[in-house]
Structure 1
Amino acid sequence: MTACVHYQRQDDIGVIRIDNPPVNALGQAVRSGLLEALEQGLADDAVRVLVLMAEGRTFIAGADIREFGKPPRSPLLPEVIAHLEASPKPVVAALHGTALGGGLEVALGCHLRVALPGTRVGLPEVKLGLLPGAGGTQRLPRLTGIAPALELITSGRLVDAEEALALGILDRISEAETPLEAALDTARAVLVGDLPTRRTGELPAPAAKPQAVADCRQALERDCPELYSPFRALEAIEASSRLPLEEGLAFERRLFLDCMSSPQRAGLIHAFFAARAPHRVPEVEDVPALTRLALLGDHPLFETLRHRGERAGITLSEKPEGVEACLLAPGRQCTAGETLRIAIVSPEAANRAVDAELLLVVPAEAGCVELVDLGAGPPHQQAVAKALKALRLSVVVSRGESILACLQRAMEGSESSREALERAALEVAEAGLAYRHSDIDLLAIEALGYPRHLGGPHYQATAGASTPSSESTP
């Protein structure tokens, strides 16, 4: 058995435990381990029911995205789920944290699902240019009906445990302290006949809902006509009402592979990796985040930070004395000795001279901010970036000159903002302003409206020559 999946017996309950930190992703070792553990549990004559759980902060948070674009390695996830569903012994899935994508599909293949409070579940594959490819479009509608499945899968929305219970995705919410306790309590209820189990794939096909399908298609054509995978997901879900399970699974798989080969999938995954750690300054030893900051002047950002300071463990003051750094609203200065100065500016004002060691570029409406090193040095920049991250800001680090300002200037007066951004992205990369080329893409997507499914202007300008996993992670 692989080192990341373990089996043990507790009385007459067999426990299959996944331990693949940080998020128990469904890599090949986990898939193989699940099959081996299942075989061991089925061969254990003392065991009457099996439970599946995960260690750490979450259940299975999805597929191992590092395997995308590589040759498939056996066993494939649909095969693993088919074996779980076909088990002659009941299999109880105990969820906590998140059960996303392939993780939820694994749970759907089990015979009963229990979750701890605070658990969230979902099938967010469309956000990566894909659709659920291991039975999600066929099993979920059998539990929820067509209309809820359409909404959840084509949007990629996550739902909390209470909503999942109401929709029929979960069978029970447990007040137990740990996933293991929830799993064992639920398994004992199954053994004494208090909780029935069922194979999701053997449930009747959901009733056809042509109006719900038409309404969903109309909404997609209105909101995201350029996207490929949501429309394919719709086709697969609609098919669940008219095809037997095996045919529906085969149809889903064909559509999944179509999405996998789509350029949109590559672009969206590149954008996904770009957003993973843009606050990291490469080759900087781990430095602690600053914990004492002054907010000087008036800026809309300050009120947001004040609400978040206590929870982040960061003291926010309105005086420059006794702090490690000052965030300066436009027009304010700090004369407190050696205190690090961070000037807040808009992208339009980012090319003006400022008396500060760092520049915090804050777009009017954006999903991220840019922290530019003007002379503070990488360790100081990293300490500030970590503090801003703790304050729940999405931070992109850069150096010398604002990437956002360069990109925005390139768009001014241009007939094609996309082409202008792609040209400017190459110039920014050549100038060495970005620590990672993917940082250029992230800023353009989050702050300047560059289409996410294209991956970003630098990605497009270089035809996606670099793989997302190698370029976008620090």
Structure 2
Amino acid sequence: MSVHYQRHGDIGVIQIANPPVNALGQAVRSGLINALEEGIADSDAKALVLLADGRTFIAGADIREFGKPPQAPLLPDVIAQLEACPKPLIAALHGTALGGGLEVALGCHYRTALEGTRVGLPEVKLGLLPGAGGTQRLPRLVGVERALEMITSGRFIEATEALEAGIIDDVSTAKTPLEAGLSAAHAVLSGQQASRITGTLPAPESDSQAITDTRERLTRETPELFSPFRIVEAIEASVTADSLQDGLRRERELFVACMDSPQRAGLIHLFFAARSPHIVPGVENASAFNQVALIGEHPLFERLQKAAQRAGIQLTDTANENTELCLIASTSHAEHPLHITTIALTKIGNQGESDTALSLVIPQSDDLIELVNLGAEPLTQQRAALTLKALRANVVVSQKRSLLNTLYEATQQAPASEKRSALEQASIGIAQQGFCYRESDIDLLAVEALGYPRHLGGPHRQAALSTAKDV
């Protein structure tokens, strides 16, 4: 079962168990309704606590359901039933409470969070808006201006800021969500803490200046995007609607419009593309190298060194008899031992051929780097990629020729007005020649490293859509 109910003394506990991130799939939504009904019917339970197993509270909706026919119960209906609970209902948060997870918490009557918890409504990053009351309940707690900033940016907020803003009611020093939830429930029952049913709070005060300023900023910074402007409309409805229900209906209309937008499909395509670009297909049971030498000087090395201790990887500045992997900066002229797996670092656009079996291509913005297999065994490339990943580097793996350099060359040879189409044409050739393991890797690199418009989902996706239209 994804959700189960049990009682601790006079407190009923609704516990979600849907690893790895307790996403709000249909089974969880249905389970919440059943467990809530069980808790309400339990005459010995004076209050209820909602919490989740594992490393996090609810990290959002189950994105795999997007684009499919909706399955009852819908999340807005689940949250409405949580909010209508006749007993005090406490949400005990830990890890992250994001998107639908935060909306669930907003539907509860009291919110306690462990230290280090982060909350947010990041739907805008997927071309969406919070569609289960987030644009209506959050402004009732934090006001219009702060709700606009939070939801249009999609940023995560630390527990201390969430407490100051009024999103949560306390930050707990307890060790577990269960301890925090039970403590908060007893405090509410004894009158030491007051619960707040968000939906019964008055509508937020009008703030036309914040609405105007946000629209102007979006028009200036991201005029091509669809969902941020719909977010403004939804938050505006939290002020102008005659009731919470009217505001929720308007929010749902705008959510459906975003769901139908091509931008949503493009952004979700990138979301999935970013999940495992470091995995070499067909390689199993690979592990990271433990002894790594960083030879020469490079800004990337500083980042790797900061993560080494936590990753359990020993870094040295010279190779020795224990070294398993060498990373050599392009400025270094040191000889590398032939028996050690070696990666040569190169800048994007560097046309020189590497004399190593693995090459690491680093764009100007080094948030995403590319590990190219020029002649190594697939297992070796996978082990090297896992090592970089353990050292907190975001890696895309490829083979035969650098995807980044191929795409970059296409942009350099094209006029400014044709750079987008040049990337799309180059992506077709990359896929045909088998340089990429996954075609989505082309899109990820083009967006993150070369500035291809994120909302379009990437050049190969656009090229594929154009081909499909022509057929």
Identify the TM-score tier after normalising by the shorter chain.
over 0.9
* 1:254 paired residue number: 253
Q: What secondary structure, in the 3-state scheme, does the structure 1 residue paired with 2:359 have?
A: strand
Q: What secondary structure, in the 3-state scheme, does the structure 1 residue paired with 2:56 have?
A: coil
Distance 1:357 1:311 in 2: 28
* 1:280 paired residue number: 279
Letter in 2 for 1:345: T
Distance 2:256 2:306 in 1: 45
1:282 Cα offset (Å): 1.0
1:308 Cα offset (Å): 2.4
Distance 2:185 2:467 in 1: 50
Q: Deviations over 1:212-263 (max 9, x none)?
A: 1111111111111111001000110011012110000000000000000000
- Contact 1:334–1:341 (Cα < 8 Å) also in 2: no
Instruction: Say whether 1:373 aligns with 2:341.
Output: no
Q: What secondary structure, in the 3-state scheme, does the structure 1 residue paired with 2:239 have?
A: coil
Instruction: Say whether 1:400 aligns with 2:400.
Output: yes
Instruction: Say whether 1:341 aligns with 2:342.
Output: yes
1:174 Cα offset (Å): 0.7
1:299 Cα offset (Å): 2.0
1:465 Cα offset (Å): 9.1
Distance 1:13 1:334 in 2: 67
Q: What secondary structure, in the 3-state scheme, does the structure 2 residue paired with 1:383 have?
A: helix
1:36-55 map, 5 Å: 36-55=34-53
* 1:210 paired residue number: 208
- Contact 2:369–2:396 (Cα < 8 Å) also in 1: yes
- Contact 2:336–2:342 (Cα < 8 Å) also in 1: no
Letter in 2 for 1:268: L
Q: What secondary structure, in the 3-state scheme, does the structure 2 residue paired with 1:114 have?
A: strand
Structure 2: gaps spanning 5 or more residues: none
Q: What secondary structure, in the 3-state scheme, does the structure 2 residue paired with 1:295 have?
A: strand
1:320 Cα offset (Å): 1.5
Q: What secondary structure, in the 3-state scheme, does the structure 2 residue paired with 1:463 have?
A: helix
* 2:293 paired residue number: 294
Q: Deviations over 1:412-466 (max 9, x none)?
A: 1312110000000010000101110000000101110011111000011101999
1:41-80 map, 5 Å: 41-80=39-78
Q: What secondary structure, in the 3-state scheme, does the structure 2 residue paired with 1:443 have?
A: helix
Equivalent residue in structure 1 for 2:164, among 152, 163, 166: 166
Distance 1:219 1:391 in 2: 37
Distance 2:263 2:354 in 1: 40
- Contact 1:12–1:47 (Cα < 8 Å) also in 2: yes
Letter in 2 for 1:80: V
1:197 Cα offset (Å): 1.2
Identity across aligned pairs (percent)? Answer: 60
Relative distance call for 1:465 and 1:195 in structure 2 (3 A) is farther
Relative distance call for 1:411 and 1:289 in structure 2 (3 A) is same
* 2:461 paired residue number: 459
1:50-449 map, 5 Å: 50-243=48-241, 244-321=243-320, 322-330=322-330, 331-349=332-350, 351-415=351-415, 416-449=418-451
1:23 Cα offset (Å): 0.1
Q: Deviations over 1:14-58 (max 9, x none)?
A: 100000000000000000000000000111111110100000000
Distance 2:179 2:207 in 1: 39
- Contact 2:122–2:153 (Cα < 8 Å) also in 1: yes
1:333 Cα offset (Å): 4.6
Relative distance call for 1:164 and 1:460 in structure 2 (3 A) is same
- Contact 1:296–1:332 (Cα < 8 Å) also in 2: no
Letter in 2 for 1:210: S
Distance 1:16 1:305 in 2: 41
Q: Deviations over 1:152-199 (max 9, x none)?
A: 001101100000001100001111100000000111111111111121
Distance 1:334 1:386 in 2: 25
Distance 1:353 1:276 in 2: 30
Distance 1:462 1:450 in 2: 15
Distance 1:332 1:295 in 2: 13
Distance 1:214 1:73 in 2: 37
Relative distance call for 1:465 and 1:239 in structure 2 (3 A) is farther
- Contact 1:328–1:334 (Cα < 8 Å) also in 2: no
- Contact 2:187–2:193 (Cα < 8 Å) also in 1: yes
RMSD in angstroms over aligned alpha carbons?
A: 1.2
Distance 2:378 2:220 in 1: 45
Distance 2:265 2:466 in 1: 8
Q: What secondary structure, in the 3-state scheme, does the structure 1 residue paired with 2:240 have?
A: coil
Residue range with higher mean Cα deviation, 12-21 or 285-294: 285-294
Give aligned pairs, total.
Answer: 463
